[in-house]
């Protein structure tokens, strides 16, 4: 029988020390060694999914092919292991409790009282094993959300402990990511918090096999020995993880520390050398000197990398592969709306503009002004979802002179709803899980920017929106110079819109950023940046 191997990744001392990147890097190494890898996040909160959460507080909502709304770690996983994940990759406490309570209502537990142990923990194990079974993976990496010692994570840790007993110690591994603070005054790196977080892990019956030691700077042999001694792991199983210039160095550094070999030994695998050439190439591309490319990101949450994580990653990787250094400029569209001179000046310094997705009215008028500027000045523009709707509204207002053109989302009582709610498309107006979600087929017409970028007539891209282009305006817009170059197979839904007389002004109803991978930049992100580079060659017009 096929025996899946399981690697649990826990975190200690602090949150935000790179547990997601650690899990993803281990995944990248094992995939590069030829194993089939599946990844899963165990999330502590009681929401069923991340769909209703504010990106400002929690980071972006990352959407999978099957429409599951997850958190940004799943983006790291997909970009690092270059596999599309599915709903089995994302498990929340809310989902666990919901499923248990539903079973209780059905009468599946008749005669029994329902308890955290064993019912909730059994459900956690069931979700882990389901993930393994449906993916038929060799190895499954499970990231346990939060930090050890958090009350909200206890059922996950208990389930993980039981997994080791039930699957056999040789089939389950625990990787603990911990932080070593550096005391400036004494010039010392401190291992005590790590020792204490391992004590916390042990108190729930888990002994780590590997400790990933996160530090700001170097870690010396003596610290490694100390951690090994007091946390009871082999010195070679303490993996140094100093800060790096780019996260793409992490798989390379882990492999230098022979993490693959340690895992192979534990699982009784033949040690296969991972092929990390693509990672080395990317790191080299990032580290070589190259001319800058100024790119505006005109959104609502400025300077908040996490709220637009996939967008910034997609821009940056595309830029690296074009041998340019991405310089992102966060443009606050509320300031643009107010006519803030500084903000306009910053926008005007940019060579390409990306208007990302968003919900609600805030900053929308500023975004429309940004789109107008891009259209009139022929600045390469990529609109993602809301950014595509904005581009169409701007065109309707300023080219077709439909002054009150807007979206139903911003003003439901307006007469000219260029973007509207299509009732057939949705199950209802309740907020959770009712958006148009996940990968859908899009047909692309030849002789378009979209086709020249994708070089394909059929693509599948991920969606997350409530409103659609209003087909009643389609022919009017097309006559005036817009092109709906991508549609659903039935032609009912407009998926890609572009402006014919423009070097590159294109908007997508979907989110291409979700399918941009570390070693395969997305064609549309590449295309908008290529257009910007092309434009540099033109004599400057005044
Ligand atoms: N708010 C818009 C809609 O619901 C756009 C959504 C988005 O950008 N993801 O259609």
Here the tokens at position 428 are 């209802």
Here the tokens at position 126 are 């069931």
Here the tokens at position 49 are 């999914």
pLDDT of residue 104: 92
Question: Ligand 1: which residue has its CA nearest to atom 1?
Answer: 359
Distance CA 95, CA 100 (A): 9
Distance CA 196, CA 135 (A): 36
Distance 257 CA to ligand 1 centre (A): 44
Distance 147 CA to ligand 1 centre (A): 33
For residue 307, the SS3 value is: helix
List the pLDDT tens digit at each of the 542 positions of the chain.
789 999 999 999 888 889 999 999 999 999 999 999 999 999 999 998 888 888 888 889 999 999 999 999 999 999 999 999 999 999 999 999 999 999 999 999 988 899 999 999 999 999 999 999 999 999 999 999 999 989 999 999 999 999 999 999 999 999 999 999 999 898 899 999 999 999 999 999 999 999 999 999 889 999 999 999 999 999 999 999 999 999 999 999 999 999 999 999 999 999 899 999 999 999 999 999 999 999 999 987 666 788 899 999 999 999 999 999 999 999 999 999 999 999 999 999 999 999 999 998 988 999 999 999 999 999 999 999 999 999 999 999 999 999 999 999 999 999 999 999 876 665 554 555 568 899 999 999 999 999 999 999 999 999 999 999 999 999 999 999 999 999 999 999 999 999 999 999 999 999 999 999 999 999 999 999 999 999 998 876 54
Asked whether the beta carbons of 64 and 438 are under 8 A apart, the reply is yes
Distance 401 CA to ligand 1 centre (A): 24
Contacts (Cβ under 8 Å, ≥6 apart) of 518: 79, 80, 82, 248, 278, 279, 282, 317
Alpha helices, H only, 352-424: 364-377, 386-398
Question: Ligand 1: which residue has its CA nearest to atom 7?
Answer: 357
Smallest CA-to-CA distance from 420 within 512, 509, 308, 490 is with 509
DSSP, residue by residue, 209-251: SEEEEEESS---HHHHHHHHHHHT--GGGEEEEE--SSTTHHH
Question: Ligand 1: which residue has its CA nearest to atom 6?
Answer: 465
Q: What share of the chain is helix, strand, coil (3-state, %, to 5)?
A: 45, 20, 35
Distance 276 CA to ligand 1 centre (A): 38
β-partners of residue 507 are: 383, 497
Question: Which one of the listed residues 231, 319, 350, 385 is annotated catalytic?
Answer: 385
Output the CA torsion 97→103→106→109 (10° steps). -120
Distance 420 CA to ligand 1 centre (A): 11
350 assigned to active site: no
Indicate the top mutation candidate among 299, 355, 386, 408 to test ligand 1's pocket, ranked by most ligand atoms within 8 A of CB: 386
Question: Which one of the listed residues 465, 513, 522, 530 is annotated catalytic?
Answer: 513
Name the one residue in this structure whose structure tokens are 């800060």.
243
**Residue 173 host element (H or E):** strand 172-179
Atom of ligand 1 nearest to the CA of 466: 4
Looking only at the bridges linking them, the beta strands covering 494-499 and 505-508 are antiparallel
**Residue 531 host element (H or E):** helix 523-536
| Residue 412 burial by Cβ neighbours in a 10 Å radius (0-12, 13-18, 19+) | exposed
Distance 219 CA to ligand 1 centre (A): 46
pLDDT of residue 542: 44
Distance 71 CA to ligand 1 centre (A): 17
Question: Which one of the listed residues 255, 511, 522, 530 is annotated catalytic?
Answer: 511
Distance CA 38, CA 542 (A): 54
Smallest CA-to-CA distance from 69 within 94, 46, 86 is with 86
pLDDT of residue 115: 94
Residues with CB under 6 A from ligand 1: 357-359, 385-386, 409, 464-467
385 assigned to active site: yes
Alpha helices, H only, 218-340: 221-231, 249-256, 259-267, 277-287, 309-321, 333-337
pLDDT of residue 304: 77
pLDDT of residue 294: 98
pLDDT of residue 423: 64
Question: Ligand 1: which residue has its CA nearest to atom 8?
Answer: 357
Indicate the top mutation candidate among 61, 357, 382, 493 to test ligand 1's pocket, ranked by most ligand atoms within 8 A of CB: 357
Indicate the top mutation candidate among 465, 493, 495, 512 to test ligand 1's pocket, ranked by most ligand atoms within 8 A of CB: 465
Question: How many CA atoms lie within 13 Å of 392's alpha carbon, on the beta-carbon side?
Answer: 33
Distance CA 327, CA 300 (A): 19
Atom of ligand 1 nearest to the CA of 409: 1
Smallest CA-to-CA distance from 530 within 374, 375, 351, 391 is with 351
Here the tokens at position 250 are 């992490």
Asked whether the beta carbons of 381 and 528 are under 8 A apart, the reply is yes
pLDDT of residue 425: 60
Atom of ligand 1 nearest to the CA of 384: 8
């Amino acid at each position: 029988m096929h025996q899946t191997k399981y690697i649990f990744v826990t975190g200690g001392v602090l949150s935000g020390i790179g547990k997601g990147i650690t899990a993803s890097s281990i995944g990248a190494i094992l995939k590069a060694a030829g194993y089939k890898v599946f990844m899963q996040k165990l999330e502590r909160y009681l929401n069923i999914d991340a769909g209703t959460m504010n990106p400002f507080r929690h980071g972006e909502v990352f959407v999978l092919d099957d429409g599951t709304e997850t958190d940004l770690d799943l983006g790291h996983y997909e970009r690092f292991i270059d596999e599309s994940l599915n709903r089995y990759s994302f498990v929340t406490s809310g989902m666990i409790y919901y499923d248990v309570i539903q079973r209780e209502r059905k009468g599946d537990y008749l005669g029994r009282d329902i308890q955290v142990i064993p019912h909730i923990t059994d459900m956690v194990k069931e979700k882990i094993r389901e993930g393994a079974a449906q993916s038929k993976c060799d190895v499954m990496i499970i990231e346990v959300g939060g930090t050890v010692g958090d009350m909200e994570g206890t059922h996950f840790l208990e389930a993980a402990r039981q997994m080791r007993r039930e699957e056999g110690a040789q089939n389950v591994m625990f990787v603990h990511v911990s932080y070593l603070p550096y005391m400036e005054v004494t010039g010392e790196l401190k291992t005590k918090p790590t020792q204490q977080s391992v004590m916390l892990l042990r108190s729930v019956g888990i002994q780590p096999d590997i400790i990933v030691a996160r530090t700001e700077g170097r870690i010396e042999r003596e610290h490694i020995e100390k951690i090994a001694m007091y946390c009871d792991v082999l010195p070679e199983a303490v993996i140094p993880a100093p800060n790096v210039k780019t996260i793409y160095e992490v798989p390379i550094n882990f492999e230098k520390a022979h993490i693959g070999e340690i895992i192979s030994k534990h699982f009784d695998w033949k040690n296969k050398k991972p092929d990390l050439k693509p990672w080395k190439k990317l790191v080299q591309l990032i580290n070589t000197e190259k001319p800058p490319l100024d790119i505006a990101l005109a959104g609502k949450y400025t300077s908040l990398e996490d709220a637009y994580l996939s967008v910034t990653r997609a821009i940056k990787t595309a830029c690296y592969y074009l041998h340019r250094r991405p310089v992102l400029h966060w443009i606050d569209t509320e300031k643009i709306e107010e006519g803030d001179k500084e903000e306009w000046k910053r926008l005007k310094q940019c060579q390409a503009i990306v208007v990302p997705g968003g919900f609600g009215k805030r900053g929308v008028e500023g975004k429309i002004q940004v789109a107008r500027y891009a259209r009139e000045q022929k600045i390469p523009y990529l609109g993602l979802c809301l950014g595509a709707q904005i581009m169409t509204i701007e065109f309707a207002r300023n080219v077709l002179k439909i002054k009150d053109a807007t979206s139903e989302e911003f003003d439901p009582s307006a007469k000219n709803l260029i973007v509207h709610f299509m009732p057939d498309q949705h199950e209802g107006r309740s907020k959770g899980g009712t958006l148009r979600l996940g990968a859908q087929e899009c047909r692309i017409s030849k002789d378009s920017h979209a086709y020249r970028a994708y070089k394909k007539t059929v693509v599948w891209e991920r969606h997350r929106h409530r409103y659609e282009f209003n087909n009643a305006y389609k022919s009017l817009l097309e006559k005036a110079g817009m092109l709906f170059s991508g549609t659903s197979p039935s032609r009912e839904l407009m998926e890609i819109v572009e402006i014919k007389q423009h070097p590159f002004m294109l908007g997508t109803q979907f989110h291409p950023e979700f399918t941009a991978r570390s070693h395969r930049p997305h064609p549309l992100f590449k295309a908008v940046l290529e257009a910007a580079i092309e434009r540099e060659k033109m004599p400057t017009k005044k």
